[in-house]
Structure 1
Amino acid sequence: MFFHFGILLLLSQGLLGEGNVSEAIDGDSRIIGGKDASPGMANYQVSIRGHRRHQEWHSCGGSIINEEYVLTAAHCVFKKNKNDMSVVVGSHTINKGGDRYQIKKLIPHAKYSKPVVKNDIGLIQIEGKFKYNDKVQPIELLKEMAPIGKKCLFTGWGYDNLREETVPNDLQMLEYVTISNDDCTKQLKRSPYPKLVPIDKPEQLCAKRPNHKGACYGDSGGPLVIQEEKNKTVQIGVVSWVVPCAKDFPDIFASVHGYYDWIQSKIK
């Protein structure tokens, strides 16, 4: 399912409803491991589209966090023209369905650094307000640090085959497990990108996925979520970068907890 800017940003080249998250984490093979997300799931999921003349493509993922704002990665909006983009919500498929919204403002973090992929968090303010229904709902953000060793879920439309550069039409989901930033840093020192470590606390978080599966181009900005003890679905991360794609290294996310105050300051 994403990664690259000479290394690893998951821009495309070209989830889950609250009641069902625990079912997915418990191992429903229909929707885990890069399987199609079940109907009614991931109702917070956003497809960020790029436009050129009469062409349109899925570029990045995102999540609805209130009636006007989408949470995504900074590199999905950094130095972009809002008039060449739009967001689509309420559909699991890229080729049809959903509601389209024009963009009022792109808000990358002011300290976003592309060379070292730090502060990779951003927001999109839409024109008007999202019309909520059973397929379109906001996701709550986790205020506290994400627990280590916690099962979590990621959703996106990124490449499902890097070699053939194929993309899915249907929304995919994959199970991850959070790991400590120290463990993540140790592993990534052996990767092709040792200059991107250490992994910052609390601004970044890491998660390990099943072997030979993981995020890829087009998954950037997508939401990583967990099921809280009270069966509430909350977002803990935003896909930032990976060792492309599905290699034997953790995937790296911007931490919702680490940027919670920044997010709130921008959406008020």
Structure 2
Amino acid sequence: MFLHFGILLLLSQGLVGEVDVSEAIDGDSRIIGGQDATPGMAKYQVSIRIHKRKREGHGCGGSIINEQYVLTAAHCVFRKKLKDMSIVVGSNKLSKGGDRYMIKKLVPHENYSPRTIKNDIAIIQIEGKFKFSDKVQPIELLKEMAPVGKKCLLTGWGYTDYNKITVPNNLQMLEFETLSNDDCNKQLNRSHFTNLLPLDAGQLCVKRPKGTGACHGDSGGPLVIQDDKNKTVQMGVVSWGVPCGKNFPDVFSSVHGFFDWIWSKIN
């Protein structure tokens, strides 16, 4: 469990028919309070594995954004060593399947602050290139500011039970609703983490169903939305939250807010 000034950084240690993301967003999908995702729904999903001695565990989530790069949170890679990490894609199960890639470079945002959890965005470059298939595909990034009050979807392998430290084998999905930063600041002002406020243009908030939410292991994971053309695009990266499933919004790094920074690192 990784705690930072009492705030939860959402890190972790430790076949059915294909479903489109749009169907999942419209369905009853509630990570803590989540339900199993399916192979056809999150082909962009990444598991960042942490290696300690001869043991391996899921550390963070991430998303494939092109043949060589993964998008994740800065706190997932900050001061980490390449040899202690790898990337697994193409499987919704932590225990088996998928393709493994070694890491060539870790690029956390230059202004990432562990104290304020601002600029919590990072790029990972893999060795070689991803082999795209019917189970592995990149996700497009949202260029515009995310609309307020719209359904969106998070996938990840974060704890499904915070108290029992239960890590799911199956990828989980959870539906949220976007929230304005002004409303989010007001709600989080009731928490013990006012030192992290106000949120800036590089952050966004989502409202979660009661008793659900992101948890350890979901960090760096992709929050996606349907754009005006019904295309699935990534709008956020899991950053921090009030642990876990409490009645507060979860905070994400905004893809829109860091769009230029992301492209400057991968082009």
The alignment's TM-score, normalised by the length of structure 2, stands at 0.95
Check whether the contact 1:3–1:244 (CA below 8 A) recurs between aligned residues: no
Check whether the contact 1:179–1:206 (CA below 8 A) recurs between aligned residues: yes
User: What RMSD in Å do the two structures reach over aligned CA positions?
Assistant: 1.8
Rounded to whole Å, the distance in 1 between the matches of 2:150 and 2:228 is 12
When structure 1 is superposed on structure 2, of 33-42 and 162-171 the one drifting more is 33-42
Check whether the contact 2:29–2:174 (CA below 8 A) recurs between aligned residues: no
Check whether the contact 2:18–2:39 (CA below 8 A) recurs between aligned residues: no
Query: Which residue in the other structure is 1:236 paired with?
Result: 235
Alignment of structure 1 residues 71-150 onto 2, 5 Å: 71-150=71-150
Check whether the contact 2:32–2:245 (CA below 8 A) recurs between aligned residues: no
Rounded to whole Å, the distance in 1 between the matches of 2:30 and 2:237 is 24
Query: Which residue in the other structure is 2:25 paired with?
Result: 25
Alignment of structure 1 residues 113-262 onto 2, 5 Å: 113-201=113-201, 203-262=202-261
How high is the sequence identity, in percent, across the aligned residues?
72
Name the aligned partner's letter for residue 186 of structure 2.
K
Rounded to whole Å, the distance in 2 between the matches of 1:81 and 1:22 is 37
Q: CA deviation at 1:90?
A: 0.2
Rounded to whole Å, the distance in 2 between the matches of 1:117 and 1:52 is 26
Secondary structure, aligned partner of 1:8? strand
Segments of 5+ residues of structure 1 without an aligned counterpart are none
Say if 1:32 and 1:43 are closer, same or farther in 2 by CA, change over 3 A: farther
Rounded to whole Å, the distance in 1 between the matches of 2:73 and 2:18 is 23
Q: CA deviation at 1:32?
A: 11
Rounded to whole Å, the distance in 1 between the matches of 2:141 and 2:18 is 13
Rounded to whole Å, the distance in 2 between the matches of 1:152 and 1:146 is 10
Q: CA deviation at 1:229?
A: 2.3
1:8 aligns with 2:16: no
Segments of 5+ residues of structure 2 without an aligned counterpart are none
Rounded to whole Å, the distance in 1 between the matches of 2:19 and 2:94 is 24
Name the aligned partner's letter for residue 22 of structure 1.
S
Say if 1:166 and 1:31 are closer, same or farther in 2 by CA, change over 3 A: closer
Check whether the contact 1:156–1:218 (CA below 8 A) recurs between aligned residues: yes
Say if 1:32 and 1:4 are closer, same or farther in 2 by CA, change over 3 A: closer
